[in-house]
Structure 1
Amino acid sequence: MGYWGYPRYVSVAEKRAKAARKLKQLRKKNSDIKPILLEGKAIARTWWGKSWNLNLERYADYSNRIGRGRSYVRNDAVLDLQIDPGKVESLVQGTRSKPYAVVIKIKAVNKMIWKAIKAACEGKLDSLQELLAGKFPKALDEIFMAQGQGLFPSPKEIDFNCSCPDWAYMCKHVAATLYGIGVRLDKDPGLFFKLRKAKMKDLVTQAVEDKTRKLLEKAKKKTTRVIDESDLADVFGIDLEEPVVVKKKRAKAPKRASRRKKPLLSASKKAKVRSATGKPGAKTLPKKASPKTRDRSRFDTVAGIIKRSGRGITVAGIREKTGLDDKQIRNIVYKAKKQGRIKNLKRGVYIPA
């Protein structure tokens, strides 16, 4: 005590030093302790922290008393603050050596109010990140902050108790804890929904479902923005292996009755030509290669190129040498790998097995 029975003046530096010593002691006993430590002069910086404090300050029951806790928060006097569903517990360093224990109970959001808020959010929130960042339309700001009908609790939904001997309706330690909640919401807005026993995912579920439905509808209409599969590997630099495409056999056309054509040369004339030149009189044209023979030839060509490549070769390199398109080459590569004739040196580069 100081002169004339008044409490001795304690400087801000002394208060902070006392709080720091006590915090160090508490951390030795409990490593899970969570103090409220401000970064700068502002008690709250984000929409959630500022809105929490604004909500408390605008009620007449609190406006004249809650300000008593600002200096305690700024002096790092809130040594521990734990937020659980419907309950907040804290330790606040006061004039005594032992911190005061504060318990604040907050009711869950009224079911009818929560239902109305969910309906108001339909189609207006695209993601949880948008919600937690406080980046939403002004209309939602007004709905969330509506006195007695919004997300934030009114005095009648808050009950508190402190172990200090102060019999005031709201002591400094309770006020400091309430401001401490605003600081904590700055760093983790999701704690607000935990405290009020509300599922924040409910506010964006309908909006996400609407957006998903629209995307699915658009997906049915292929546009020029859709990347072709054959170009995907080149765009992203990855090796997309495709199964061998089995071509469907075309139905054979019914045979027509063939008419015997009159030979160009008679047998006797052919014999004369052979005897004179040693060669047949009529030239025999090469038959057109069948699809099976053509595919085999392509397979052998690609496999041979890969076999002769020293350091390996890519699809682009094979394309330059053969003129085949990427899809044909990948089908052949896939088949050759299945047969164990080639393997990957690395992604997109092939060498003999």
Structure 2
Amino acid sequence: MSRYGYGYPRYVSVAQKKAKAENTLKKLKKKDPDISPIEIQGTKLASSWWGISWNKNLEGYADFSNRIGRGRSYVRHGAVLDLKIKEGKIFSLVQGGASRPYIVKINIHKLKSTAWETILQKCRGKIDSMGDLVEGKLPRAMETLLTDSKNGIFPSPSEIQFDCSCPDGASMCKHVAATLYGVGARLDNDPSLFFTLRGVNMEALVSQTLKNEADTLLKRARSKSSGRIIQNADLSSTFGIEMEGGKNPPLGQKHKKSKPKLVISPATSKKSSVPKDAKPLLPGIKSRKKPMNNNPDYDLVVAMIRRRRVKGIGFKEIKERTGIEDTKIRNILFRAKQKNEIKNISRGLYIKET
């Protein structure tokens, strides 16, 4: 029977909505262990620069501003049971009033190559490392460029098409709105997904700057009477890059056959140090002297995650057991995910990639 007899929907409390979403999520996880729900911690829908900027961009358009707010309560109550981001596509399952969750599909245009090249030119020299980009530690001028409503990298309403299996006839239903806010929350954990979504290479924002600095330093070293040449390892630790032999240099530039290629690495510090109060190495890890990736901290973190094959290990525990600083851990996690060595099973929780 409808509420008060006037045709209003039956009132459902917040606790009932949460319980319904949790019950459905448990059933879905039994069928699909890789399901990836959105879990909001605290009062903010997003806390990183990337997540906040994504939400502000959507809320800044008149076409969306009056409707996207409908999804705030849904995403807060855990209604987004699964969310996947791929190149140009977003897929989600959102628990609504029906017993089964609704299916949401969103298509977002890839960033045009001409617009991306313009952004690369304007941002050149304004960022020092991949870590700064991931953390959203950007100069104000660069933030303005990236978030510009006409020429930035965030999508406009005309670049977004969405569809939901619910019966709501609104152009943007609550389930679509909740999904879009869910993307902002997901970017908190992995900003690289934004670049995946828009079909561009995030490394290109910093690669040219690092290459120019490295080439300048090499020329200076070679010009000295002693003939001393800076070694690749020094360049790696100084600039956060790795030297490799290869055919395809960054940004389409051609190198001579004898000239190595520069490849971006999240490393930002010259030396890797472990605080005195850090806990000892895990059993089975005998030494840090010969790391597989020339980075003992990287190997230690990845080894810890691999040992937690079922339940995974959280960011806080990694920090407590290794003593490695927050930024360096995030850079390691980002790099390991890019190499498909680990994966997220929930916010801040990692396991070995199967």
Q: Provide the TM-score with structure 1 as the length reference.
A: 0.62
- CA displacement at 1:204 relative to structure 2: 1.1
1:191 aligned residue (178, 190, 193): 193
Partner letter of residue 108 of structure 2?
Answer: I
AA matched with 2:94: V
Q: Which residue of 2 aligns with 1:3?
A: 4
CA deviation map 1:194-246 (0-9, x unaligned)? 000001111111101111123324434779xx9xxxxxxxxxxxxxxxxxxxx
Letter in 2 for 1:181: V
**Contact (CA 8 Å) 1:106, 1:196: kept in 2 or not?**
yes
Within the candidate set 33, 36, 57, 2:35 is matched to 33
Rounded Cα–Cα distance in structure 2 between residues aligned with 1:47 and 1:222:
44
Q: CA deviation at 1:155?
A: 0.2
Q: Give the letter for the 1:18 counterpart.
A: K
Give the alignment's Cα RMSD to 1 decimal. Answer: 1.6
Q: How many residues align?
A: 224
Is 1:178 the equivalent of 2:180? yes
Deviations 1:246-269 (A, max 9, x none): xxxxxxxxxxxxxxxxxxxxxxxx
In structure 2, the residue matched to 1:248 is none
Q: For 1:235-254, list aligned pairs within 5 A.
A: none
CA distance in 2, matches of 1:67, 1:145: 20
Deviations 1:52-110 (A, max 9, x none): 00000000000000000000010000000000100000000001110000000000002
Tell me if 1:44 matches 2:46.
Answer: yes
1:219 equivalent to 2:221? Answer: yes
Percent identity over the alignment is 55
2:145 is the alignment partner of 1:143: yes
Between the aligned partners of 2:221 and 2:72, the Cα distance in structure 1 is 54
Q: CA deviation at 1:122?
A: 1.4
Q: Which amino acid aligns with 1:148?
A: K
Quote how far apart the aligned CAs of 1:8 are.
1.5
| Structure 2: distance between partners of 1:68 and 1:74 | 11
Q: How does 1:76-95 map to 2 (within 5 A)?
A: 76-95=78-97
Please state how far the C-alpha of 1:170 moved relative to its aligned partner: 0.4
CA contact (8 A) 1:91 1:102 kept: yes
Larger Rg: 1
User: Residue 193 of structure 2 aligns to which amino acid in structure 1?
Assistant: L
2: CA distance between counterparts of 1:125 and 1:220?
A: 27
CA contact (8 A) 1:66 1:170 kept: yes
Equivalence map 1:1-353=2 (5 Å): 1-4=2-5, 5-220=7-222
Provide the residue aligned with 1:247 in structure 2.
none
Question: How much does 1:9 deviate?
Answer: 1.1
Amino acid at match of 2:212: D
Distance between the aligned counterparts of 1:202 and 1:144, measured in 2? 14
Q: Determine the C-alpha separation between the residues in 1 that align with 2:224 and 2:76.
A: 59
Per the TM alignment, residue 7 of structure 1 is displaced from its structure 2 partner at its CA by 1.4
**1:19 maps to amino acid:** A
> Partner of 2:175: helix, strand, or coil?
helix
Displacement, 1:124? Answer: 1.6
Instruction: List 4+ stretches of structure 1 deviating above 2 A.
Output: 217-223
Structure-2 separation of matches of 1:132 and 1:17: 34
Q: Which deviations, in whole Å up to 9, do the C-alpha atoms of 1:119-150 show, x marking residues without a partner?
A: 01212222111111111211110110111210
Other structure's SS at 2:33 match: coil
**SS state at 1:3 partner:** coil
Unaligned regions of 5+ residues in structure 1, if any? 227-353
Q: Which runs of 5+ in 2 are unaligned?
A: 229-354
Q: Aligned partners of 1:135 and 1:114: how far apart in 2?
A: 20
2:161 is paired with a residue whose SS is strand
For residues 62 and 211 of structure 2, what CA distance do their matches in structure 1 show?
A: 41
Native 8 Å contact 1:123 1:210 kept in 2: no
TM-score by length of 2: 0.61
- Which whole-Å CA distance do the structure 2 matches of 1:47 and 1:179 have between them? 14
